[in-house]
Structure 1
Amino acid sequence: MEGGMPTSSPAGSCSNGHHQNGTDHVKPWRSHHGGGASRSRRVNREIEAPPCTDFDKAYFQSYSHVGIHEEMIKDRVRTETYRMAVLQHQKHIEGKFKLFKEHISLRNAGLPPIGLIVVVDVGCGTGILSIFCAQAGAKHVYAVDASEIALQANEVVKANKLSDRITVLHGRVEDVQIDEEVDVIISEWMGYMLLYESMLGSVIIARDRWLRPGGLILPSNAVLYMAPITHPNRYAESVDFWRNVYGIDMSPIVPLAKQCAFEEPSVETISGENVLTWPHVVKHVDCYTVTVKELESVTASFKFQSMMRAPFNGFAFWFDVEFSGPATTTGAPSSADEATKTNPSGGHRRKRANPDEALVLSTAPEDPPTHWQQTMVYFYEPIDVEQDQVIDGSVTLTQSKENARFMNIHLEYASGGRSFVKESVLR
């Protein structure tokens, strides 16, 4: 998650190996001691740092490798959408400034001009989103990351002559100090299946510590979807292959092949043709109001109706994120809310039809592929379904007790008079 890099830890874990004895009183390394005076007593609200685990050390260490950042930056759908979101909201704020400046003070309007905007980039990675914000005219950007990649981010900031406007903070959001409220929080926190890696908690902590009332969070909303899929080729490649290998019957391998191929979720790319039904909303996340506790366990019931006769091979999960202002500022519901109201199945909404609508980054099968792809939970045996056949049940997503960054997936589903349970772990 470049621009959405590790900056915090789930409950019972720690940020990285630089914090000693399970508590973190170490002053974070900074690239520049910038930032204005405190504008509110709310800034730097104390949060007790959780203890360290080996899982978290390994997690943060993994994001020190440049290869993972290269993959994310090369995802043009992702990176260009973030850049468009920064530019879109720059123009929005400037327009509000011009509208109000002759009538009421900017202070009362709560809409500072872009030259006074202060941003925090939660999980800055190599710093690309921070630089986008600085190029858009932000007064100051605090780029926070607990991984060693923060050291390289600082050098990137220097190379682009932005050290006077970007402060790189090497540490967790619980531990670093920012001595002013911020106007914007930007983060690319989304993991596979949206919630994998539990990094949204870092954004929540940053929001509660520093975001001024009426401030902006980018992205502002997220929606996790699921749908039944048919993918017989995947089954043939992984399982049926063993039935005849160069003329040799190797079918005794089939049970092991099924276990190895389908026991755990698979991250891969499918197309809209693989999807059997309209998708269902598993979870809508409002980044302005969501709590850490709310994300520990998510349960949703579903009822699908197959649009074709086909083998039902499993469920696919994907997500959208939306870049819009807070509802209290815009006075309008997000397009995520509108989609759920207008489509009784909670089906997938399309990207904005005109520039005035919210900008959406989608990882849906019918949209251009991203590095997130889709997350598949396959069955060991396909289920043949007829057109209009009902598939119903429930899904529960829970943070793993073994490692809070892992996700336990519990599926109960029924179709054609038969009931099934599938449990797996996204790790």
Structure 2
Amino acid sequence: MSHPAKKRKFDKTRQDSLYFDSYSDVTIHEEMIADHVRTNTYRLAILKNSESIRGKVVLDVGAGTGVLSVFCVQAGAEKVYAVEASSIAEQAAKIIRQNNMEDKIRVVRGTVETAELPEMVDVIVSEWMGYALLHESMLNSVLFARDKWLKKPGGVLLPDKAQLYIAPISEPVAEERLGFWHTVKDTYGVDMSCMSDFARKCIKNADISISPLAAEDVLSHPARFAELDLNTAAVEQLRSVGGRFRCESFGSAAVNAFCVYFTVSFPCPDRPQPLVLSTSPFMPETHWKQAVLYLDAPVDVTQDTLVSGEVNMYPSEESDRHVCIGLEYTIGKHKTHTKTFSIPDWTAETLS
């Protein structure tokens, strides 16, 4: 699948500054800590890996408020380096003091790429995932930290694997919004049905919509199209993440979008299966929700209609931190379509 024409790239230093500034406000940290699925899964994963953590040195990449660092001390860590580039690091230091862990946790203000640690580490923990896994994610930084600071062999990454999934959906909100313009005449006596074409262009555009979906919106078993092993993945690999997919519809419906979601998994030494943090619409909602990719027009399917195609995720030309999703899909006997999606880039708007 080809990429769109190259556009002007904005200054990376300014991009990073705006990115880290966004983590200086309380709102985003409130949202993350309040996400019970996210926070409790990390807590359980850290405690279940206590044998690997007890008495060891841990690096927390993008520590934020320091909650994962605290979990690591609770699991027995001898020393934790909590690296955080935004000013929330000041609040993390207060939280660490309030929990009487300042002798165990050292807050390091700055990026992990510029941080200097006095020793190698046994474990790296990081909550690096963004929308659709890779949007604004810190995975590049985690891989940098792995290569520079993690002991080999035997070093532990939490989490250590990530998986990406796609499924066709019938997303009701978009259709309700499009249908709204046909109801105005009955309500107010003014025919505004001509607005529906304009609304369709605005709603079903090339933006990635981040929305919570219900299980009943999903029209097939999700298909995994990519997996990343953080133990071996290279930074260059993140320039293009994707693969082919194939699934069959459950029954009669109109496909008007695809959803993309991710899982990450943590090793569990005391059991054969890893501990999984899932953002699936079939699981309890997380603050990541799901990434919705609207089709230009709905396509009807019936039982066992084949839906297949290819997904390619890559950094935006305007900002390495913003993800684009190239989608090629075929539904039943309809012709193959391609469409490229992106999340609206606030750094581009600010810097233009």
Q: What is the CA-CA distance between 1:355 and the residue it aligns to?
A: 5.3
The match for 1:96 is none
The match for 2:161 is 221
Q: What is the CA-CA distance between 1:206 and the residue it aligns to?
A: 0.7
The match for 1:114 is 54
The match for 1:67 is 27
Distance (whole Å) between structure 2 residues aligned to residue 303 and residue 360 of structure 1: 23
Asked if residue 321 in structure 1 is aligned to residue 264 in structure 2, the reply is yes
The SS at the match of 2:291 is: strand
Distance (whole Å) between structure 2 residues aligned to residue 73 and residue 235 of structure 1: 30
Deviation string 1:332-377 (CA, Å, 9 cap, x unpaired) is: xxxxxxxxxxxxxxxxxxxxxx955311111111111111111110
Residue from 218, 222, 236 that aligns with 1:293 = 236
Distance (whole Å) between structure 2 residues aligned to residue 216 and residue 355 of structure 1: 16
| Contiguous gaps of at least 5 residues in structure 2 | 1-8, 345-352
Asked if residue 306 in structure 1 is aligned to residue 249 in structure 2, the reply is yes
Query: 1:33-182 alignment to 2 at 5 Å?
Result: 52-90=12-50, 92-93=51-52, 114-115=54-55, 117-182=56-121
The match for 2:134 is 195
Q: What is the CA-CA distance between 1:256 and the residue it aligns to?
A: 2.6
The SS at the match of 1:54 is: helix
CA 357–413 in structure 1, closer or farther in 2 if over 3 Å, else same: closer
Q: Which amino acid aligns with 1:218?
A: L
Deviation string 1:313-332 (CA, Å, 9 cap, x unpaired) is: 1110111111116xxxx7xx
Residue from 117, 124, 129 that aligns with 1:185 = 124
Distance (whole Å) between structure 1 residues aligned to residue 41 and residue 127 of structure 2: 11
The match for 1:254 is 196
Q: What is the CA-CA distance between 1:211 and the residue it aligns to?
A: 0.4
Q: Which amino acid aligns with 1:294?
A: Q
| Contiguous gaps of at least 5 residues in structure 1 | 1-11, 14-50, 94-112, 331-353
Distance (whole Å) between structure 1 residues aligned to residue 190 and residue 244 of structure 2: 45
The SS at the match of 1:151 is: helix
Q: What is the CA-CA distance between 1:418 and the residue it aligns to?
A: 2.4
The match for 2:328 is 412
Q: What is the CA-CA distance between 1:67 and the residue it aligns to?
A: 0.7
The SS at the match of 1:86 is: helix
The SS at the match of 1:182 is: coil
Q: Is the 8 A contact 2:161 2:227 kept in 1?
A: yes
- Deviation above 3 Å: which 4+ runs of structure 1? none
Q: What is the CA-CA distance between 1:181 and the residue it aligns to?
A: 1.0
Asked if residue 425 in structure 1 is aligned to residue 342 in structure 2, the reply is yes
Residue from 211, 234, 238 that aligns with 2:173 = 234
Query: Greater CA deviation, 245-254 or 366-375?
Result: 245-254
The SS at the match of 1:212 is: coil
Deviation string 1:146-174 (CA, Å, 9 cap, x unpaired) is: 11111111111122221111110110111
The SS at the match of 1:63 is: helix
Query: 1:362-373 alignment to 2 at 5 Å?
Result: 362-373=278-289
Distance (whole Å) between structure 1 residues aligned to residue 241 and residue 155 of structure 2: 27
Asked if residue 374 in structure 1 is aligned to residue 290 in structure 2, the reply is yes
Distance (whole Å) between structure 2 residues aligned to residue 289 and residue 377 of structure 1: 30
Q: CA RMSD in A?
A: 1.8
The SS at the match of 1:202 is: helix
Query: 1:387-402 alignment to 2 at 5 Å?
Result: 387-402=303-318
The SS at the match of 1:418 is: coil
Distance (whole Å) between structure 2 residues aligned to residue 273 and residue 73 of structure 1: 28
Q: What is the CA-CA distance between 1:285 and the residue it aligns to?
A: 0.8
The match for 1:18 is none
The SS at the match of 2:113 is: coil
The SS at the match of 2:319 is: coil
Q: Which amino acid aligns with 1:313?
A: N
Q: Which amino acid aligns with 2:195?
A: I
Distance (whole Å) between structure 2 residues aligned to residue 63 and residue 77 of structure 1: 20
CA 356–389 in structure 1, closer or farther in 2 if over 3 Å, else same: closer
The SS at the match of 1:251 is: coil
- The normalised TM-score by structure 2 is 0.89
Q: What is the CA-CA distance between 1:310 and the residue it aligns to?
A: 0.4
- The normalised TM-score by structure 1 is 0.74
Deviation string 1:278-323 (CA, Å, 9 cap, x unpaired) is: 2111210111111111011123122222121100111101111111
Q: Is the 8 A contact 1:409 1:426 kept in 2?
A: no
The match for 2:5 is none
Q: Is the 8 A contact 2:12 2:319 kept in 1?
A: no
The SS at the match of 1:157 is: helix
The SS at the match of 1:235 is: helix
Q: Is the 8 A contact 1:198 1:404 kept in 2?
A: no
Q: What is the CA-CA distance between 1:52 and the residue it aligns to?
A: 4.1
The SS at the match of 2:299 is: strand
The match for 1:276 is 219
